[in-house]
Amino acid sequence: MSNKDIVILGVFVADTAYRASRQPKIGETIIGNEFSLGPGGKGSNQAVAAALAGGNVHFISRLGKDDFANMAISLWEKSGITPHVTQYSNSYTGAAYIFIEDKTGNNAIIVSPGAAANINDDDITANKELIHGSRVFMTQLEQSLDAAGTALSFAKDGGAITILNPAPAQPLGENILKLCDFVTPNEIEAEQITGTPVKSINDAEIAAGKLLEKGASAAVITLGEQGALFKDNNQIIHQPSYEVGPVVETTGAGDAFNGGLAVALAEEMPIDRALRFACATASISVTRRGTAPSMPDRNEIDALIK
């Protein structure tokens, strides 16, 4: 491993995406306008984003032995990601239902992680040296909080920069947050974790402060079209998003941001430039459909933040 390596623990799922004017009510059937099948899962999306943005990326996960697993393996090979993955014939590769609203491009998601739901400390211990030797380690909460905590602890002990993207949100105690150099919720996740509704940049500052009080070294709250708000014990930075083109789909924007942030930190960019790099990555992604397929390459990001 080089001292620039990014190690990501997370989940791959196959995204089944449905576009319609609205979601159906319980017991109701409506006609959709479009369907697509493609690669997804927060961890895998972030790995793709980081690899295309120039990172040397390793990805830890579990898969079934099925067509969706073949999709994952092909994606990682194409993207230049090194997988550290075990496969299980007695389970299945995860899948996600994604509803996308035609008018706004906003989304609602249900994730069923499959084999990856059983990621545990055995998976983490098997990759202890990999995690321990990383420059940046990142995880989310689509696998268990216990596994995430063990991996963050190994990374912290090795001197890595640690990032926790707390999605889906759940209560987080000091024992987890004190392992996080960066915690990166969106507005909804920040509210669910801190109890502070995030409707404005000022609200984001308050929520970020609560995350610091709970133990995180720094908080970055992603704010959709308003960009992102960074806070640590020394400074507050609001980084606006970039105007790239019409918003087509917001699915995967947070993953793009986190992947871009991981690369920027691995390259030791100062935090203001790291935020620009991450916001540029996300801003480009929302002009395209899909999650992993929407991630921009390094040349596109550099051209935007030049």
**Annotated active-site positions, please?**
255
Q: Calculate helix-pair angle for 253-266, 271-285, nearest 10 degrees.
A: 150
> Closest Cα to residue 53, out of 272, 257, 271?
257
Hey, which residues does 101 pair with through a beta bridge?
20
Cβ within 8 Å of residue 74, ≥6 positions away = none
Amino acid occupying residue 286: V
Q: Give per-residue burial for 215-247: e unless 16+ CB within 10 Å, then b.
A: bbbbbbbbbbebbbbbbbeeeebbbebbebeeb
In the sheet that holds 218-222, the strands lie side by side as 82-88, 57-64, 6-9, 136-139, 161-164, 182-183, 218-222, 228-232, 236-239
> Closest Cα to residue 182, out of 286, 287, 257?
257
Assign 3-class secondary structure to 104-139.
CCCEEEEEEEEHHHHCCHHHHHHCHHHHHCCCEEEE
Cβ within 8 Å of residue 67, ≥6 positions away = none
Tell how far CA 295 is from the center of its chain.
Answer: 12
6 close to 135: Cβ distance less than 8 angstroms: yes
